[in-house]
Amino acid sequence: MDEYVTGIVTLLAVNCIAALGVSLFTGFTGIFTLGHAGYMAIGAYTSAILTVQYDIHWLPAILAGGTLAMIIAYLIGLPTLKLVGDYYTIASLGLGEAIRLVIENWNSVTRGARGYPGIDGYTTLPIAFAFLIVMAIGMFYLVNSNFGRAFKACRDDYVAASLLGFNTARYRVFSLAISGFYCGVSGALLAGFMSFIQPVMFDMAKSTELVSVVVFGGLGSMSGCLIGTTILTLVTELFRPISQYRMLIYGMVLVLVMVLRPEGIMGTNELNRAFFRKLLPRGRAAGEEAQ
């Protein structure tokens, strides 16, 4: 594989990890976020500073990046997710920017707006994919467990969920913390891939992109968010030769999906046996689906 293709595929894996996190929070727990790039920034800078400044091995540095993003997500979630409704969404709008501005102005640690150079390129294709596979399996397992059902219950009807004994606020915060971890790890891998990071990489546009791939792939489908990320990453890359039109095409793809499949590419389906059975001739009874 030439270097260019390797680069794209690595970047794709990194994006997929962040999308998995946002998919859990937005697709499965039902809370929109416009600030998840902030958690990526935390992961990226933590990992960059630890590896460059303190000569720490990249593996613990990446995990530290994820963990710090998780802790901060948890602390942000505590006051904002106690309330039901769009409070977190509104808060996330400011929080994402706040995190970015702190990084931009904390010159002594983050070197400010000029960016953080000289990061060891530790994110190779195998490493990025190893992370993606482990974290994707964890996420697929998680949504197919008691926690997954609890998250979906909070999403579909929080009153009914609390009357089934779920502390819905706790589950929302928990979901945010996990998605913060995923975005933190993704950011840390991005830092190792780019070798250079700057605050502007984690702005509102990045946050919006994270939500749009999840909506594009289907809210409530983990395979959907992976497919969505793949398509949108490839669209942006394939049309690089006609770069002045590529955001136009990107927008067109988004609009097309909104018109043709408002529920996203996968809806709430997963790429599993039940899904393929559904695609086969209609003679099969609907009752046969799902394990």
With contacts defined by CB under 8 A, name the span among 2-10, 145-153, 227-235, 252-260 that binds other proteins: 145-153
DSSP state letters, 207-231: HHHHHHHHHHH-TT-HHHHHHHHHH
Among 6, 105, 107, 145, which residue interacts with other proteins (rule: CB under 8 A)? Answer: 145
What is the three-class DSSP state of 289? coil
Specify the residue, 127 or 142, whose C-beta has the smaller distance to other proteins. Answer: 142
What is the three-class DSSP state of 116? strand
133 binds other proteins (CB under 8 A): no
Site for other proteins in 251-270 (CB under 8 A): 268
Interatomic CA distance for residues 252 and 248, integer angstroms = 6
CB of 288 to other proteins, least distance (A): 7
Interatomic CA distance for residues 151 and 24, integer angstroms = 8
Among 136, 142, 197, 265, which residue interacts with other proteins (rule: CB under 8 A)? Answer: 142
Interatomic CA distance for residues 200 and 214, integer angstroms = 22
Interatomic CA distance for residues 202 and 187, integer angstroms = 9
78 binds other proteins (CB under 8 A): no
Residues in the chain: 291
Interatomic CA distance for residues 194 and 121, integer angstroms = 7
Interatomic CA distance for residues 217 and 11, integer angstroms = 18
82 binds other proteins (CB under 8 A): no
Among 59, 101, 133, 163, which residue interacts with other proteins (rule: CB under 8 A)? Answer: 163
Specify the residue, 63 or 113, whose C-beta has the smaller distance to other proteins. Answer: 63
156 binds other proteins (CB under 8 A): yes
222 binds other proteins (CB under 8 A): no
CB of 174 to other proteins, least distance (A): 8
Which residues contact other proteins by CB under 8 A? 138, 141-142, 144-150, 152-153, 156-157, 159-160, 162-168, 268, 286-290
